[in-house]
Structure 1
Amino acid sequence: MTALRITLFGDVTLDHAGLQGPVKPTRTVRALLAFLLLHRDHTHRRDMIAGLLWSDLPNKQARNALSTTLWRLRQVLEPDGVPKGAYLLANGSDEIAFNCASDHWLDIAEFEQQTGRALAIPVPLLEQPDLQALERALDLYTGDLLPASYDDWALVEREQLRRLYLNSLAHLMRCREHRGEYGQALTAARRILDLDPLREEIHRAMMRLHAAQGQRARAVRQYDRCRLVLDQELGVSPMPETQALLAQIRRSPDRQPANDNPPAETPFAHALAELQRARQEFAQAQERLQRAIGLAERLASLPQSSLPARNLSEHGKIDRS
């Protein structure tokens, strides 16, 4: 049995086997723990972490806040019965890190490993055990990372994990569709639109899937939902390929599966579709870009000596104190 189970998706919890029930840390402890785990392959200077997590405080106060939070983190990571230094490593007074060699399980690590493996396999080559492993990994995503945190670094990490989740769901959806498992493909598609309702290609996939099941009316209603959300959020109409798919579905008789591919586009229609797609993607990418710029500017403002990410192996022995 794994000695320590840690979840970062949704509610952050720590569960020490045989010692106590699951523990939910305080907000600042959650943030520090999440940062160390997300960057678990490196050791980090305290000045850098203090500057990221307490950017609104003067340097000395930020360092004091970090010291207090670090003490509280040690209480939940290494309670009575757990050796000091089992999970939290410190190099003198300057650097800290999570002990990757410890006996622990981390939901995000499992999620990234399994989704990465599945995404590397082409759709036609994914077999049922692969799909089941992917679905188990996706079920680990019980909520966004640190949903209550609006710090730049947390926003960037949260967005990256959400993108991986959505891309993995889309891969699962395409695999289920390829196998003719339309109901399961629809379930994956709905999960995507729950988080990102502007993904027009997912609306099209749902239209195809409904049509493949002989549910033409549902396919048309899906188009209507797509048209409405694009108009309300972006002020644009569905792409020509989406409209072409709608026309194809309307022409098809009831109970007859629709062709997955819409009619061939003219060069002009293709160019127009690319323009529409760019307009939609720009609105979504702009916010992500601003978040990344904010994080980069914050890191650039820190002293060079406090910048992070040197590998643990470069530092020799790390004190467990």
Structure 2
Amino acid sequence: MIRPTGGLLMSVYPSVHPAAMLGQRPGESGNCLNLFNGPSVISGGMRTEVPEGGKRVLAFVALSSGVVERRRAAGALWPDGDEVRAAGSLRSALWRLKCAGIDLVQADKVALRLRPGTTVDVDQLVTWSDRVMTGVPTAADLRISRWHIDFLELLPGWYEDWVIFERERLRQRLLHALEALARLLVDHDRIAEAIEVAMIAISAEPLRESAQRVLIEAHLAEGNMVEANRAFYAFRALALRELGVEPGNGLRSLIDQRKGRLARGYQHALTRRH
């Protein structure tokens, strides 16, 4: 099942880090900040939970490209109090992080900065998706053996506006990247893996027509017209039931064109026999 909001579900595989699924190795050359199903910190292969009072500061700085004005951070994280109280709350949160041995945020009177050398799993996902979507993946980028899309939910249970925006932005980027990955796998004649990736995208958003199209294209690339037909009509039934609309003409024409080619080929074969 998926949430009505379209968000990705929390994983039942909490020991698998997103960076590991993307062929990265967090925590060996410095600290890794994990915002998916987090926040938590991985250092030297060990996972450290972030104290409650410091979680939002750490996440806000990381999602602000690693540097943010101190006043802006305080105002966004403690919007209900006055400026003086918000500044005090920020100082308290930074102190809690240091007491927990998490020294990832460098603070001065003007700005907060993520300590140089800190790896953020969100950045790793964005970098991976950039390579896949631009068609220049590494061999490791095409590996899917440990993909669990329901693991990749940004800061689950957080509902501040700045989190919701980033969560949806990353969800859309991931879905586009999975579609691109499936097409790349088809190009590499790895059809079974392409079908699996397409189905992962569909499991996150069953009504996403572009993901359904990738699945159908993969079935057709393998010559499985029956499977392609089954996928189309299953999606059609879902779209009619949930939205009251038919699939787009482009998706239907994909099936119809292949049926037409098969029919012409069959007719040509019969003509040659006679």
- Other-structure match for 2:35: 8
Gaps of 5+ in 2: 1-27, 266-274
1:105 alignment partner, one of 110, 119, 130? 119
- Other-structure match for 1:188: 197
Q: CA deviation at 1:183?
A: 0.9
Q: CA deviation at 1:146?
A: 0.9
Q: CA deviation at 1:66?
A: 2.5
Q: What do you get for the CA RMSD once the two structures are aligned?
A: 3.0
Cα distance in 1 between the residues matched to 2:101 and 2:244: 49
- Tell whether 2:54 aligns with 1:29: yes
- Other-structure match for 2:216: 207
Q: How does 1:153-192 map to 2 (within 5 A)?
A: 153-192=162-201
- Other-structure match for 1:310: none
Distance 1:234 1:54, change over 3 A: farther
- Other-structure match for 1:48: 72
Cα distance in 1 between the residues matched to 2:140 and 2:248: 33
Distance 1:246 1:133, change over 3 A: closer
Gaps of 5+ in 1: 79-85, 257-321
Q: CA deviation at 1:14?
A: 0.9
Q: How does 1:1-321 map to 2 (within 5 A)?
A: 1-17=28-44, 21-45=46-70, 47-78=71-102, 87-92=104-109, 94-99=110-115, 101=116, 103-121=117-135, 126=136, 130-135=138-143, 139=147, 142-249=151-258
- Taking structure 1 as the reference length, the TM-score comes to 0.63
Q: CA deviation at 1:241?
A: 2.2
- Equivalent residues of 1:6, 1:104 under 8 A apart: yes
- Taking structure 2 as the reference length, the TM-score comes to 0.73
- Equivalent residues of 1:40, 1:97 under 8 A apart: no
- Larger mean CA deviation between 159-168 and 211-220 belongs to 211-220
Percent of pairs with identical residues: 25
Secondary structure of 1:227 counterpart: helix
Cα distance in 1 between the residues matched to 2:39 and 2:255: 44
Cα distance in 2 between the residues matched to 1:106 and 1:212: 37
Cα distance in 1 between the residues matched to 2:147 and 2:235: 26
Q: CA deviation at 1:87?
A: 2.9
Distance 1:180 1:9, change over 3 A: same
Secondary structure of 1:130 counterpart: coil
Secondary structure of 2:48 counterpart: coil
Deviations 1:111-146 (A, max 9, x none): 22232233333xxxx5xx72423547x959732111
Distance 1:66 1:219, change over 3 A: same
Cα distance in 2 between the residues matched to 1:76 and 1:231: 53
How many residue pairs match? The answer is 235
Cα distance in 2 between the residues matched to 1:97 and 1:150: 24
Alignment-mate amino acid for residue 109 of structure 1: D
Q: CA deviation at 1:3?
A: 3.3
- Other-structure match for 1:272: none
Higher relative contact order, chain-length normalized (CA < 8 Å, sep 6+): 1
Secondary structure of 1:55 counterpart: coil
Distance 1:206 1:57, change over 3 A: same
Q: CA deviation at 1:251?
A: 5.7
Cα distance in 2 between the residues matched to 1:68 and 1:106: 23
- Other-structure match for 1:294: none
